[in-house]
Amino acid sequence: MTYRAPVKDMLFVMKELANIDAVARLPGFEDAGYDTAQAVLEECAKLNENVVEPLNRVGDTNPTSFNAGVVTATPGFKDAFKQYTEGGWQGLHHPADFGGQGLPKLIHAACQEMVNSAGLSFALCPLLTDGAIEALLTAGSDEQKMAYIPKMIDGTWTGTMNLTEPQAGSDLAAVRTKAEPQPDGSYKVFGTKIFITWGEHDMAENLVHLVLARVVGAPEGVKGISLFIVPKFLVKADGSLGVRNDVHCVSIEHKMGIKASPTAVLQYGDNGGAIGYLVGQENRGLEYMFVMMNAARFGVGVQGIAVAEAAYQRAVQYARDRIQSRPVDGSLPGPGAIIQHPDVRRMLMTMRAYVEGCRAMALVAAAAYDASHHHPDAEVRKQNQTFYEFLVPLIKGYSTEMSLEVTSLGVQVHGGMGYIEETGAAQLYRDAKILTIYEGTTAIQANDLVGRKTSRDGGTSAKAIAAQIEATENALAARFSQEAKAFAKRLTAARLAFLDVVDFVAGHTRASPNAVFAGSVPYLMLAGNVMAGWQMGRALLAAEDRLAAGEDVAFMQAKITTARFYGDHILTKVGGLRDSIVEGAAGVTDMALEAF
């Protein structure tokens, strides 16, 4: 397969839905308008199509290796990473003060999608480094920022996040790694961390581990967790590398997918203690790590979109080439390409509509993030922050669950050949499974949506978004086209179902938590479906306008058709989800535990 970055669709979303012209009016982004985005995306596409994507299959068949504590990346990865960082891609949206390019998250998110479509295992290294940079920008001292961030941006060093321990998976209250204060202000860190993505490798000179640990005597639970920088090699005052720190990789995991991304078990303090440096204040580590976590959660959602895009492209290519069976309408005298069969077209349209809807949702959210950080009006910043934060669990949860359905359909389109590793469809399916798990499972995203994003404010934020959706419905209903009117009908039904669920969640979380949380993941899937569907409705409006102006007729017609499919075949699932959430809790909770 030859991956081709969907630059045209990304630029359409940026211009028509995410309003890149408004982003370019934000202070600091004056040079980051549509023309800049187009130039950056086209250059990014070249690197990922020509350098990263050819290594994706190689990484699956010749994964990262471990030998006596030494982790060696897949052949070709080190050179590709060098080209990636030398091209400035690691610092694309990070501040120019530290060597970055200071571009909007909107542009960075599109570039993130490309590198993840080209090679998910490869892309995880820069993703975790981005998170480490974000955490230090938020909570690091000026000295820490200057010592570590420029080196991570230029690719000399990479970053990791160390949360999980053998006894503490998602429950970080159970973290036991300890930190002992030293007279010089440093700490000695002792403990074991597992599932550390790119926790050891040979692609960079140093690794900057951000580690959650408890200072001796700290309170129990999440309130007693602090965040530490624990570099693989200690850093001298002049910025050069010193001695090896007491942190070692004792093994890497053998995984179902993302095999070229080393998932390390790291041991801290076996030989006297690993030297660590406190980030921010003691006992506020979880707060700082959530900055890193939120950046990573958005990034993982983009990974879901990326893998789904790759699966869609591969399936379309196969469906065009595979000759099998005579079309049911008799349009050919003999067998034809399977893309002519209605059910294959249904599968391809499902894949396409999901990807385009989720891409639009993610890029619109990225633009809101940019406004929340850069808009001069405090109230506008606050509104955009609330909108962005509501969407993050949906982007992470819905887009990654979507990627499982799409990559599974990709295997199905290939038929028996999809189950054969050589076609590459199976790798995408295997790789996608981790996305619903790491950086917080789908249930954890749903808990966030229920608790922090809906119940806490009584559904106010959700209802404010619903009001915006209603405005889109009205615009669609006012059009003369059959497609717009049909979509308006679907979107109205979906919005009303969404509001029913919001009222149920806001009204019952405190009094009947089991009833609400029994439907928390269905609520996430419903909300994600509605938000992506809303963007497809907006895309339909924009495409009709541009079609009327005679612009890019084939693309605009395809966008309208894809939106119509989303409305008729995906948005229509919302009603059933609404019923299962509002009326179906007993079926989840009433079974006696001993009966399972």
Cα 300 from Cα 494, distance rounded (Å): 26
- Cβ atoms of 133 and 295 closer than 8 Å: no
582 Cβ contact partners less than 8 Å away, ≥ 6 residues apart: 500, 501, 504, 519
Active-site residue identified among 401, 439, 473, 544? 439
pLDDT tens per residue, the chain (596 residues)? 789 999 999 999 999 999 999 999 999 999 999 999 999 999 999 999 999 999 999 999 999 999 999 999 999 999 999 999 999 999 999 999 999 999 999 999 999 999 999 999 999 999 999 999 999 999 999 999 999 999 999 999 999 999 999 988 777 778 999 999 999 999 999 999 999 999 999 999 999 999 999 999 999 988 999 999 999 999 999 999 999 999 999 999 999 999 999 999 999 999 999 999 999 999 999 899 887 788 889 999 999 999 999 999 999 999 999 999 999 998 999 999 999 999 999 999 999 999 999 999 999 999 999 999 999 999 999 999 999 999 999 999 999 999 999 999 999 999 999 999 999 999 999 999 999 999 999 999 999 999 999 999 999 999 999 999 999 999 999 999 999 999 999 999 999 999 999 999 999 999 999 999 999 999 999 999 999 999 999 999 999 999 999 999 999 999 999 999 999 999 999 999 999 999 999 999 999 999 99
Cα 74 from Cα 82, distance rounded (Å): 14
Cα angle value 355/8/350 (rounded, 5°): 20
594 annotated active-site: no
Q: How many residues does the chain have?
A: 596
Q: Pairing state of beta strands 206-215 and 226-231?
A: antiparallel
361 Cβ contact partners less than 8 Å away, ≥ 6 residues apart: 391, 394, 395, 398, 399, 528, 531, 532, 535
Joined tokens for residue 292? 């890193």
- Cβ atoms of 20 and 33 closer than 8 Å: yes
Cα 412 from Cα 418, distance rounded (Å): 7
DSSP string, 539-586: HHHHHHHHHHTT-SHHHHHHHHHHHHHIIIIIGGGHHHHHHHHHH-HH
Using DSSP's 3-state secondary structure scheme, residue 226 falls into: strand
59 Cβ contact partners less than 8 Å away, ≥ 6 residues apart: 74, 77, 119, 121, 122, 259, 260, 261
Joined tokens for residue 477? 């209903």
Amino acid letter, 289: M
The Cα-based distances of 454 to 43, 103, 346, 390 in angstroms read 40, 31, 34, 8
Torsion on CA atoms 104, 108, 109, 110, rounded to nearest 10: 110
Q: What CATH architecture is 158-283? A: Beta Barrel (2.40)
Joined tokens for residue 171? 């429950």
This model's pTM is above 0.95: yes
Cα 90 from Cα 101, distance rounded (Å): 9
According to the CATH classification, is domain 7-65+72-153 in 1.10.540.10?
yes
Using DSSP's 3-state secondary structure scheme, residue 375 falls into: coil
Q: Is the dihedral of CA 392, 397, 398, 399 positive or negative?
A: positive
